Structure 1
Amino acid sequence: MLYDKARDFLRAKPENEENDVGRSAFRRDYGRLLHSPSFRRLQGKTQLFPGHESDFFRNRLTHSLEVGQIAKGIALRINATEPAFRDDPIDVDLVEFAGLAHDLGHPPFGHNGERALDDCMKKNGGFEGNAQTLRILSRVEKKELRSPDDGDVCGISADGTDRRLGLNLTYRSLASVLKYDKQIPLRRHKNAPLMKGYYASEDLLVKSIKEHVGTPSTTGVFKTVFKTIECQIMDIADDIAYSTYDLEDAMKGGFSHPLQLRAMVLGRPSLAAKLLEKVKREVADITEPDLFSAIDDLLNLDDSGAATNSLGSYETSKLVASDGMTRCQFFSELVDQFMRGVGVDLLPDKDVRFSRITVVRDIRIKIETLKHLNFLLTIMSPRLKVVEYRGYDVVKTIFETLDSEEGHLLLPDDLRLMHERLTDTDSKRRLICDFVAGMTDRYAVEFYSRLRESGATIFKPL
């Protein structure tokens, strides 16, 4: 079937929309996301450090804003430098939309909240942040129903049919957040690891997305990959933001400084081996000298070539971590360097939709090294692990309570009615999972305290 670009702009439910001057269908989608409750709630979800610790540190919302800006910057650069994209440019509204939406599905307490919900849902389709993002945009958000004309505004009809359409976005916008083209099995073993993909409940939607957006070439490296160029740009922008700015927050929080990180890797062979193993997942042919060279380029602050354990280098390293202007300059230069390492390989037929985003090898190694180094030394530190374990228990307790015999009676009124109308266990548990996943960290703690402690006043609604 020949690709019809106009099909990108179609929605599950047609709307009488006029393209105002300067406002495309993708710009409408951008606006719908920006005004949605799910997007606002990202301000209350942890990025690296819990929000109550300081207003300085990034949360999921500010991280998403940074990813959106980096993604847009990459798209603008490709449009300006690649001849094939001058006549058919990447839509920057769509790229920015993908960056802003990419973390929408993350539950409270980050990856430990994700693990808790996946453990609860192993027999009912699992849980995963990217899959939840697609579900929020296409189903959970409360903007559009398939057939609300009967006066019944409940998302589940009286016969148990789910008629929710979420934000009723264009198919191309939905494709921009579909990172993993694989369905998560409905039933998995209790010890199975977390699996990335999309839920069985969105299987028909994914098929519809592919029908409208099209599929990649059936030749070469693109044979089995469904990942639009906007989604790929969002993905690398997320890696750039995550690898640099989480480390900046860690330095501001007093967890490390550049020379300390360098010394820990060079002085602990077991850490270096673990780091090399993680980077190999993205750069298969990386060697130990490649890794140490990247660390040297990233964290050696002595331009004179003198010994890096000199007092001058140490003082400079401490200054990067403690002085706001120096730290800002250090990480701004890293982000700029990483963005300039991003390029694109066109498909043989010059179809830009599924053209492959590339990253210069040494830049990819640096991004992956920083990302995993921060994970191993900061996120896995005892101080943050205490917070993670607490979050796991909070999320799992809330889910199991709501899923108990009369637990649905604790749901807000609109969700309670939907739960009563649903006719199968998988759908009922998915509804509860949606509710818990949408909680902010603070709200989850407050809800937990109502269940296990004295909690807030009963006159404050759930």
Structure 2
Amino acid sequence: MTTVKLYDETDFERPAKKKDAQHKEWRTHIKRDYGRIIHSASFRRQQGKTQVFPGHESDFFRNRLTHSLEVAQIAEGIADRLNVIYRDELRGNEIDGRLCAVAGLVHDIGHPPFGHNGERALDEQMLEFGGFEGNAQTLRILSRLDKKVKYADDVDGDERAGLNLCYRTLASILKYDAVIPGKREVGAKVKKGYYGSEQTLVTDIKKQVLRGKTLPSGVEFKTIECQIMDIADDIAYSVYDLEDSLKAVFLTPASILASGDKLLDTVVEAVSEQLKQPVTRADILDAFFEVFADVTPADDAEKIEAVQYFMQATQASNAYCNDGYVRTEKSSELVHKFINGVEFKLDEENPALSKVWLKPDIRKTVEILKQYTFKAIIYSSRVKLGEYRGTELVTDIFKALNAEKGYLLMPDDVRERFLDAKDKGTKARTICDFVAGMTDRYAVEFWARLRSDGAESMFKSV
């Protein structure tokens, strides 16, 4: 039987051909990438970016950093399980669990302050210059913006090589194989993919990972590690965003099971779109009845008093908000169940593009939990107020920096790059990169210097 290799030496080459004195036999290329990411400024900044609830509200709630750590752990867990369950099909290969974890660590690194609201604000300001998209920004940060390595000779007019990660590592975060158009009409949604400024790099990534082969027509470029990271992200969203919502008492099992038709219909629409198949209100409620089966007393409702039934159900529902042991046990149970629902098939022609997916019934549950939590929370007036503030704040900062002589408000290194830029698009992207890299707190502080009566001290660096 022919041996199929999941990895090849070409996977571990780097865009900037630079001899690294730190390379040791005991330190693999992927472990080096892991170290570079852990020690990078952009990775640290995720601790100051909102996941669902603002970090200043409570130390309990997850932020982008803790969410990414959970995604990394789940991704590595998926790889570990597949290596055992599909040992025969893998034929002596093993999926690199550490590489899957690396993809998890950086999958959200491109998110701007205030999450999707900041993303929409920046995209609106960048309509004429390729827009703003979180996945594209992730690749840009790793391959350009993080300050680690420079090219010996400029590549596409830019000497920056970012963290200079392995091609296979960069491939692990390429979720969408499409270049984002340079311009689009007002109101048109941004296309998920990568910016034109990184198109040459993406071409090189494909060449290295596909080992010189041409991608077959109709085949999507999405590596096995990227697929695993994507599934891990969905699992983390579906379980831990729900857990945070229960802790915050934004949701309770009782309120979920008593959802109104309007909310259920929005979830039905979102889940149907993601699964590419129709679901019903009953499907949504059935999924939650299964998740919160312990809320409903085991006895038949007809055999006990209605008041007693109501009391037991209410107490069980409240336990999810008030008892950390109950929440943790449920979250662990769900993550374990979802990881066990991952399946695998080896691609003989292009091993790096081997397929990983969730069983249909498990994926349906994951999608329902994820979409319900998202839809239920975004319609909350308390969350909407925060959204509005974040959107306006990011927009205001960008406009101030993009105004005449706005460059005078920038840090020295950003100002220098802005002034060196040869065209409006590059100048706008420089501003966008700076604003996107801000944490929530830093963005508020920066805005306060521009607008607030109680501005920060001029002696504090920008």
TM over 0.5: same fold?
A: yes
> What displacement does 1:216 show?
7.9
Structure 2 equivalent of residue 76 of structure 1: 80
Q: Is the 8 A contact 2:76 2:100 kept in 1?
A: yes
Q: Is the 8 A contact 1:178 1:227 kept in 2?
A: yes
Q: Is the 8 A contact 2:10 2:209 kept in 1?
A: yes
Gaps of 5+ in 2: none
> What displacement does 1:256 show?
1.5
> What displacement does 1:3 show?
9.8
Structure 1 equivalent of residue 245 of structure 2: 250
Structure 1 equivalent of residue 67 of structure 2: 63
Structure 2 equivalent of residue 153 of structure 1: none
Matched-pair identity in %: 48
Structure 2 equivalent of residue 166 of structure 1: 162
SS at match of 2:337: helix
Q: For the residues of structure 2 that align with 1:445 and 1:216, how far apart are their CA atoms?
A: 47
> What displacement does 1:284 show?
2.2
> What displacement does 1:162 show?
1.4
* Letter matched to residue 34 of structure 1: I
SS at match of 2:356: strand
Q: Is the 8 A contact 1:216 1:226 kept in 2?
A: no
For residues 390-420 of structure 1, the C-alpha deviation after alignment (integer angstroms, 9 at most, x for no partner) is 0001101111111111001111111111111
* Letter matched to residue 431 of structure 2: I
TM-score, normalised to structure 2, is 0.92
Structure 1 equivalent of residue 190 of structure 2: 194
> What displacement does 1:311 show?
2.0
SS at match of 2:344: strand
For residues 200-240 of structure 1, the C-alpha deviation after alignment (integer angstroms, 9 at most, x for no partner) is 11111111111111168637xxx330100000000010010
SS at match of 1:29: helix
Matches of residues 171-250 of structure 1 in structure 2 within 5 Å?
Answer: 171-214=167-210, 218=216, 223-250=218-245
* Letter matched to residue 412 of structure 1: P
Selected match of 2:269 from 266, 277, 281: 277
CA change 1:270–1:424 in 2 (3 A) is same
Selected match of 2:15 from 12, 15, 36: 12
Is 2:31 the counterpart of 1:30?
Answer: no
Is 2:120 the counterpart of 1:115?
Answer: yes
* Letter matched to residue 193 of structure 2: G
* RMSD (Å), alpha carbons: 2.1
SS at match of 1:182: coil
Structure 2 equivalent of residue 291 of structure 1: 284
> What displacement does 1:379 show?
2.8
The range that moved more, 281-290 or 201-210, is 281-290
Selected match of 1:306 from 300, 310, 314: 300
Selected match of 1:90 from 89, 95, 104: 95
Q: Is the 8 A contact 1:399 1:432 kept in 2?
A: yes
Q: Is the 8 A contact 1:48 1:379 kept in 2?
A: no
Selected match of 2:136 from 131, 135, 139: 131
SS at match of 2:181: coil
Q: For the residues of structure 2 that align with 1:379 and 1:337, how far apart are their CA atoms?
A: 27
CA change 1:217–1:424 in 2 (3 A) is closer
Structure 1 equivalent of residue 361 of structure 2: 362
Q: For the residues of structure 2 that align with 1:29 and 1:380, how far apart are their CA atoms?
A: 40
Matches of residues 280-429 of structure 1 in structure 2 within 5 Å?
Answer: 280-288=272-280, 289-301=282-294, 302=296, 304=298, 306-307=300-301, 310-347=310-347, 349=348, 351-429=350-428
Q: For the residues of structure 2 that align with 1:390 and 1:12, how far apart are their CA atoms?
A: 40
Gaps of 5+ in 1: 149-155
Selected match of 1:103 from 97, 108, 126: 108
Q: For the residues of structure 2 that align with 1:145 and 1:20, how far apart are their CA atoms?
A: 22
Q: For the residues of structure 1 that align with 2:412 and 2:199, how far apart are their CA atoms?
A: 28
For residues 66-116 of structure 1, the C-alpha deviation after alignment (integer angstroms, 9 at most, x for no partner) is 000000000000011102335111111111000000000000001000000
* Letter matched to residue 246 of structure 1: D
CA change 1:162–1:218 in 2 (3 A) is closer
* Letter matched to residue 78 of structure 2: I
The range that moved more, 39-48 or 373-382, is 373-382
* Letter matched to residue 22 of structure 1: W
The range that moved more, 249-258 or 135-144, is 249-258
Q: Is the 8 A contact 1:291 1:365 kept in 2?
A: no
CA change 1:106–1:253 in 2 (3 A) is same
Structure 2 equivalent of residue 434 of structure 1: 433
For residues 167-195 of structure 1, the C-alpha deviation after alignment (integer angstroms, 9 at most, x for no partner) is 01111100000111111110011211233
* Letter matched to residue 280 of structure 1: S
The range that moved more, 424-433 or 271-280, is 271-280
Q: Is the 8 A contact 1:294 1:362 kept in 2?
A: no
> What displacement does 1:350 show?
6.3
Q: May I ask how many residue pairs the two structures share in their alignment?
A: 445
Q: Is the 8 A contact 2:6 2:95 kept in 1?
A: no
Q: Is the 8 A contact 1:259 1:299 kept in 2?
A: no
SS at match of 1:358: strand
Structure 2 equivalent of residue 458 of structure 1: 458
* Letter matched to residue 433 of structure 1: C
Q: Is the 8 A contact 2:297 2:312 kept in 1?
A: no
For residues 223-270 of structure 1, the C-alpha deviation after alignment (integer angstroms, 9 at most, x for no partner) is 330100000000010010011101111111111211221111xxx223
CA change 1:3–1:284 in 2 (3 A) is closer
> What displacement does 1:427 show?
0.9
Structure 2 equivalent of residue 152 of structure 1: none
Q: For the residues of structure 2 that align with 1:337 and 1:22, how far apart are their CA atoms?
A: 35
The range that moved more, 324-333 or 290-299, is 290-299
